[in-house]
Amino acid sequence: MPEKTMREKVLAYVVRDGRLLVFRHTDHSYEEVGLQVPAGSIRPGEDPAAAALREAREETGLSAFAVVRKPGETTYDLTPYRYEIQHRHVFHLALAEPAPERWLSQETHDGNGAPTPFECFWIPLKTAYVLQSGQGALLGRLFD
């Protein structure tokens, strides 16, 4: 088995009116990628909170996010999908602009390759346990 790589990542829990902002990849099935929250890699030298704000903007197409607090950090082993362990910095974000119930967005990956299409929408926090690959691990801390 290949050696596992440790990656620094962020997850963004964007909450409004008791609902969580999630997305799905429109070019993959739910069975392949499930529901996700805005997330991604921390760039070299980037502050984790800044990375969470950047990822939320890039993946949703919205811009008026603010950090509410950092509920914590966790790790997740992606094996067998990828031989990678993610050290995740989780942030609770607020959105200070209108957003529809459901909309299409895309991430351009810093100009590398074709954009990745997403469908963004809101789900009740109490049903957010359905998030893929352990992304909901710290949702309970939003209620502390």
Contact assessment for residue 55 and residue 61, using Cβ atoms and an 8 Å cutoff: no
Paired sense of beta strands 65-77 and 84-95, if any? antiparallel
Average pLDDT over residues 6-21: 97
Return mean pLDDT, the chain.
93
Q: Which superfamily is assigned to 5-135 in CATH? A: Nucleoside Triphosphate Pyrophosphohydrolase (3.90.79.10)
- Global pTM value: 0.93
Domain ranges (residues) in the chain: 5-135
How many beta carbons lie within 10 A of that of residue 51, not counting itself? 21
Assess whether the previous peptide bond of 115 is cis (omega < 30° from 0). Answer: no
pLDDT digits (tens, 9 = 90+) for 23-81: 999 988 878 889 999 999 999 999 999 999 999 999 999 999 999 999 999 999 998 88
